[in-house]
Amino acid sequence: MTTPHLTTTGHLGTLPVSRIGFGAMQLAGPGVFGLPADPDRSRAVLRRAVELGVDHLDTAQFYGPDVVNDLIREALHPYPDHLRLVTKIGAERDEQGAWLPAGRPEQLVEQVEQNLRSLRVDRMDMVNLRRFDLDAPELDQPALEDQLEVLVRLRDQGTIAQIGISSVGAEVVRRAVEIAGVVSVQNPYSILDRSGQDSLEAARELDLAFVPYFPLGSAFTGGPAKIAAEPRLAAVAATYGARPAQVALAWLLASYENMLLIPGTSSVAHLEENLAVGSIALDAEDMATLEEVEQAPAGH
């Protein structure tokens, strides 16, 4: 199986993108904190991704923090015209690397400006508002309306082109579309964890992009190892000469025509393996088999 030219496209609002992009989070150090052991290797992964046709690059200033965006700029600036740079705002890291909410309107504006400066661009192609509705619903968060109002203002000013939303349920997705015309949902979703099916159905209903994070289950709770050990995935993978993880990603692509993948890695070989998923065309029998894969509890 060889890496195909990425011709199958989806859309982020008005922006066409290949359905397999690249998530840059893993280019930082362990725990997405600090510098990687080999920054040259991280930059090589970014360059190879673009060489292979990746045009949807997902990042955030708080990856590192202040690390991944620098690597992207160093590796790829000036950027190819077709490359869509997508960032995420609404969180920050403390000195120990903990993930903290940072969603007040003034914080959101500053985070957008930080991304613009570090990536050295005048406009972000898309900004995802990272909420904590799913992973920390007990938090007292700023009102959704106030957060989206500031992003709409930045869009009107030309600082950002499109708005997405992350880590929210279906009703918030619908409200965000009504308030701000969001074009994308970025939520946890995988063959192991379909607890977010309602938000996927909302995206389908509203013709939004759906961008799953933890597409192989959460690495923090052993998701990739569970994928590798799953017998149904292994059986289907054997018929394609593929790995179970590749079939798990192919299942996502087959689940919705505007499912956009952003698998991340710090390895060129793994990058090429992820992009090869575009050549796996699962049939109805495969999909029926994969529907029987046992799901992990939500959040695992």
Q: φ and ψ at 299, to 5 degrees?
A: 85, 0
Task: Assign 256 to helix, strand or coil.
Answer: coil
Residue 236, φ and ψ in degrees, nearest 5: -65, -40
User: Which one, of 234, 254, 252, lies nearest residue 242 by Cα?
Assistant: 234
CA 24 to chain centre: 9
Using omega within 30 degrees of 0 as the cis cutoff, is the peptide bond preceding 30 cis? Answer: no
Catalytic residue numbers read 63
End-to-end CA distance of the chain: 31
Contact predicate 245/228, CB 8 Å: yes
Return the exposure string of 43-64: e unless at least 16 CB atoms fall within 10 Å of the residue's CB, then b. bbbbebbbebbbbbbbbbbbbb
